[in-house]
Amino acid sequence: MALPPATYASVASSSFVIQAGHTSTIGVKRGASPSFDASNSDGSRKRLREDSDAGYASTSSAANITNYQALAEDIIQELQCGCCSELVYRPVVVSPCQHFFCGSCVFLWIKNGGTSCPACRAQASLVTPSRPLQSLVDIILRADPSRTRAEGERRQADEVYKQGSIMRIPTPREPSPEPNLNPNLDYVRPCPHCSPNNQFGWSCPEPVVDYAVDAEHAWHLDDGSPPGHAYCGNCENLLALLAPSTTKCDFCQVSFCGVNVPDRCIAAPLLAQRPHSMNDIGDLILSADMYDNFNGNNVEVDIMIDYLTNNHISPRRIYHEIIIHLQSQPGSFKIMIDSGLFLDVHSVAPGRDEDPDATRSKICRLCAAEILIQGMKDWWIREREKGALDPDVARRPDCAEGSSCPKQRDLGPHGSVSPPSLLTVNYSSSYEAVYVSAWTSYCRFH
């Protein structure tokens, strides 16, 4: 039976295909063509790959940041000074071993007798500044300013070592030859002037007998100093009290031979002497006794150090001014002497002060250093009155507690005077620097 035309049209438009002897049924919705399926599959794979690449890139970026941070920390660790274990400041390189340190650290190493590399102890000769290391440090500090050293620490380091300076490490001293000691160390060795026809052109009126020559008449150590003799305050060797080269300090009453170390074994005129170990401002910074003399007022000491640095005032100049001031005062040095300041300055026994009221004209290096340290505070008070200080510092009112102020480290209000607005000074972010600004603005000892 033939199908109606409408029905045929409907079947023809459907997905039914009828063939002779076979009937096949296909879904109402035709399957996608092979070309469409292929393009759709490629797009899916592409999107999947892009998503996968994006996730990998994110993970890789985070890993790279972590690696860079670890690398930066490793570099900072490598740039630590071998002496102070901080990020190197003003780096210098020791030759030939090529270890590097802060310039100030090596300077102090050499000053304290170092004759080798502070790290490996190998013999070294030259210390030179390093521009490549300084460039690396500058890059690190620009990236992380919090690693910058405190203002006060940098200032003190600059006082000790001048940037760009070349230093030489002294060669180790040759071992001293074995001295020609007496067979028995319980007896006194003769002084350089005891031998007749000695090189100094003067002989002891009471020479000490050498034990090796005449053991029976040798002088035993338990008997004290031989007549007419004493021990040098510097080299501690026996000296003749009446020898032309012998001098005596009028403060500690210790004698000096003037022979073994001519520029040290001597008591010189007051204004000609050099205070022991006080050659520059860096020595004052390193002196714990000076801070003690200021009753631990580190704030005031820092202000004074800045003033000395800006005005190029040396410790020796301060010593001269202290001596001249004391000489102009009634009693001169009597108060210092009576206080026992110069007792036990040396390890040898002092002589006797024949006339306590006599004018003091000669002094040894150690006593000169004692006068410098003890007179520093009063010198600073007099110096402040000259009007050369910064106005913000100079107009501070005197603390009612005087030089023994117990609140030097107290951040609270002090007395009835309110601190000016120096807290807003644009210092570094250092807590200490801000505190110093506030404190020094309204409290000073007197």
- Averages of pLDDT over runs of 10 residues in the chain (446 residues) are 43 39 41 47 54 58 74 88 92 94 93 90 91 92 90 90 90 62 74 90 90 87 90 93 95 94 91 92 86 82 89 94 94 90 91 90 96 93 83 72 57 35 32 37 48
Backbone angles phi, psi at 68, to 5 degrees: -65, -40
Q: Give the dihedral sign, CA 9/12/18/24.
A: negative
Domain boundaries, the chain: 14-71, 91-168, 184-389, 396-446
Residue-level pLDDT at 287: 86
Q: Which pLDDT value is given to residue 302?
A: 86
Helix, strand, coil shares of the chain, percent, nearest 5, are 40, 10, 50
CA distance 225 to 235: 16
Tens of pLDDT, residue by residue over 186-213, are 888 899 999 888 888 899 999 999 888 8
DSSP state of 258: S
CATH of 91-168, picked from 3.40.50.1100, 3.90.1150.180, 3.10.129.10, 3.30.40.10, is: 3.30.40.10
Q: What is the pLDDT of residue 109?
A: 92
Contacts of 367 (CB under 8 A, 6+ apart): 249, 251, 252, 342, 345
Residues 283, 319: Cα–Cα separation, whole Å: 14
- Indicate the pTM of the whole model: 0.57
What was the pLDDT predicted at 308? 92
Alpha-carbon gap, residue 299 to 4, rounded angstroms: 116
